[in-house]
Structure 1
Amino acid sequence: MTAICKPATVTEAIDAGQPIFDAELRPHRSLSPRGFLLLMLAVCGISFAGGLAFYLAGAWPVIGFLGADLLLIYLAFKINYRSGRLVERLYLTRDRLTVRRVWPGGRSRAWEFQPYWLQVVFDEEAAAQERFDCPLILRSHGKSLMVGSFLTRQERGEVASALRAALARVRQPCRPATKVQSVRPSTSRIE
């Protein structure tokens, strides 16, 4: 997972458009592009050596199957890397939580929730017991949305805790601004 969580600043956001919580969630890919290149070179080398041995033994049709294996390994990794381009962004302001999901093909969709009624549903007990059925769900007014399905249980728990803390700050009653009174001296006259 690559989660970039920016919690609220110390000062409370007064403006409704100012961000209180901003998190970008991305799936984790453990093999870097350089690692992928090295892996493919190693697999090609092994396939070439095996293909040469089979060719010298007179079993030349095996070379085609080794080539097909190489192609399938390459395609499987490319599909995996493509799915790794999924992005979910959670953006909380005083008046709304916006969840924007961008799929690998570029298609995007946004959901908006009113933060005062929003429930962040995550079962910490299920996560502690290492059960797999502990999704992170945002629920409000009969709508629900599962976010971070590609994250680990621990990462979903961290996002849930950070989002709950930000929602608690949003739900605090606004303190009225101190009224500045203008004082005019009694001797002043308008001429």
Structure 2
Amino acid sequence: MTAGNDFDPGNDAEAEPKLFSALLTPHRSLNRTGFVVLMTVVTVISFIAGTVFWWLGAWPIFGFFGLDVLVVYWAFKVNFRSAKASEEITVTPSELRVRRVSHRGHVVEWVLNPLWVQFEQKAHEEFGIERLYLVSRGRRVSIGSFLSPDEKASLSKALMVALNTAKRGPTYNPIH
């Protein structure tokens, strides 16, 4: 058997066309520069207010104004850390792959057959789509939990098109 006859699934998987691919990340409206500006403003206001209380003789209050700055800083750092989470969803004719990376770097991956996947969504009349699920063989995988209802609707529509394309099977195009 020669090297040309060897089965290499890595190369075969790359040759398969992607019907859908999305990298989902949590939205953060405040970037690092905005964070620095906000923390500077909060610190200055807190320092001025604390200084006023110090001059009035209530010097222990000064420490509490420093404590609130630390709590705001800590809350934003936790928020920025959770923004490192992501979900990658890829659909090919033979598999649907969901790869979830937590904010701590833990990776969980599901590989499903797109022919057997059912797509479920839970919607609220007033708020829109609340949850999206991929269901296959009794397993239920939640996707896009951090997206807004409009983003979930867009993801839902695009993913349904890709799953329907995968279920139809490959098409022969002799010109391509």
TM-score grouping bracket, smaller chain normalisation: 0.7 to 0.9
Residues 121 and 137 in structure 1, CA contact (< 8 A), matched pair in contact too: yes
- Per the normalisation by structure 1, the TM-score is 0.79
Residues 28 and 83 in structure 2, CA contact (< 8 A), matched pair in contact too: yes
Change (3 A) 1:34 1:170: same
Tell me which amino acid in the other structure corresponds to 2:71: L
**Structure (1/2) with the larger helix percentage:** 2
CA distance in 1, matches of 2:20, 2:128: 27
1:150 aligns with 2:146: yes
Tell me which amino acid in the other structure corresponds to 1:169: T
1:159 pairs, out of 144, 155, 170, with 155
TM-superposed CA distance for 1:131, in Å, is 3.5
Residues 122 and 137 in structure 1, CA contact (< 8 A), matched pair in contact too: yes
2:134 alignment partner in structure 1: 138
What is the CA deviation profile of residues 172-191 of structure 1, one whole-angstrom value per residue up to 9, with x for unaligned ones?
Answer: 1434687xxxxxxxxxxxxx
Superposition pairs for residues 12-51 of structure 1, below 5 Å?
17-51=16-50
What secondary structure, in the 3-state scheme, does the structure 2 residue paired with 1:18 have? Answer: coil
RMSD: 2.0
Residues 16 and 94 in structure 1, CA contact (< 8 A), matched pair in contact too: no
CA distance in 2, matches of 1:34, 1:62: 30
What is the CA deviation profile of residues 20-71 of structure 1, one whole-angstrom value per residue up to 9, with x for unaligned ones?
Answer: 1100000100111111111100001101100110110011101111111110
What secondary structure, in the 3-state scheme, does the structure 2 residue paired with 1:109 have? Answer: strand
Larger Rg: 1
User: Quick one: percent identity of the two aligned structures?
Assistant: 39
Tell me which amino acid in the other structure corresponds to 1:96: E
What is the CA deviation profile of residues 123-164 of structure 1, one whole-angstrom value per residue up to 9, with x for unaligned ones?
Answer: 4xx35x234773011111111111111101111111011000
- Per the normalisation by structure 2, the TM-score is 0.85
TM-superposed CA distance for 1:167, in Å, is 1.0
1:106 alignment partner in structure 2: 105
Structure 2: give runs of 5+ residues left out of the alignment.
Answer: 1-13
CA distance in 2, matches of 1:160, 1:144: 16
Structure 1: give runs of 5+ residues left out of the alignment.
Answer: 1-14, 179-191
Residues 129 and 153 in structure 2, CA contact (< 8 A), matched pair in contact too: no
Change (3 A) 1:175 1:53: closer
TM-superposed CA distance for 1:18, in Å, is 2.6
